[in-house]
Amino acid sequence: MYQSFDSMPGHSRLWIYQANRFLTLEETNQLEEGLKRLCDQWSAHQVPLSTSYTIQHKLFAILTVDENQAGASGCSIDSSVHFLKGLQQSLGLDFFDRTQVALMDKGQVILHRVGQLKSLFENRTLTGDSLTFNILAATKSEWIENGRIKIKDSWLNKYLPKTAVAGE
């Protein structure tokens, strides 16, 4: 049962799917239509879920479920993944490509390949204080409050040179 993203409570469970490239306006519209359909029919054990979605930065498809209404089960989560895989195929996107990371640079969202991170840190294009997105946020509140975090505070910190971790 779809609700507006803004009306979803902060404790709502969250799943963030990053596309492998930025979406066009037409793709965003198609994705919104598909996610609305998913939210309208999403259920766990035949119990409708209170759900929502948002698309942010032309890159992130974000799904939420208010588990105080009804909890998302393993099967219902699997059904959302299956639905997204179908959407990505029709749109020519990949929401499950983990070889790219989204970063903020001078107010712009940019994508870098994970394999580039070492050289980007070595030449100081990126530092531990550079901003990335907290794609591991588990709730809507966590995403709203800490959706952008410093690399040194994220899962990407393992790519920082040891001197950068100690020195920053």
Q: pLDDT tens across 92-151, in order?
A: 999 999 899 999 988 899 999 999 998 999 998 999 999 999 999 999 999 999 999 999
More confident residue, 5 or 42: 5
Which letter does DSSP use for residue 105 in this model? E
Domain count, the chain: 2
pLDDT of amino acid 23 = 95
Task: Tell me if 117 is assigned to some domain.
Answer: yes
Residue 133: CA count within 13 A, CB half-sphere = 23
Assess whether 77 and 152 both reside in one domain. Answer: no
Exposed (0-12), middle (13-18) or buried (19+): which is 72, by Cβ within 10 Å?
buried
Task: Tell me if 140 is assigned to some domain.
Answer: no
More confident residue, 46 or 113: 113
CB 50, CB 64: distance < 8 Å: no
Checking if the pLDDT of 61 tops 90, the result is: yes
Checking if the pLDDT of 48 tops 80, the result is: no
Assess whether 121 and 155 both reside in one domain. Answer: yes
Domain that holds residue 119: 100-134+146-167
Checking if the pLDDT of 70 tops 70, the result is: no
Longest Cα–Cα distance of the chain, Å, equals 54
Task: Tell me if 71 is assigned to some domain.
Answer: yes
Query: What pTM, to 2 d.p., does this model score?
Result: 0.88
Q: How does 107-134 read in b/e, with b if 16+ C-beta sit within 10 Å?
A: eebebbeeebbeebbeeeebbbebbbbb
pLDDT of amino acid 163 = 63
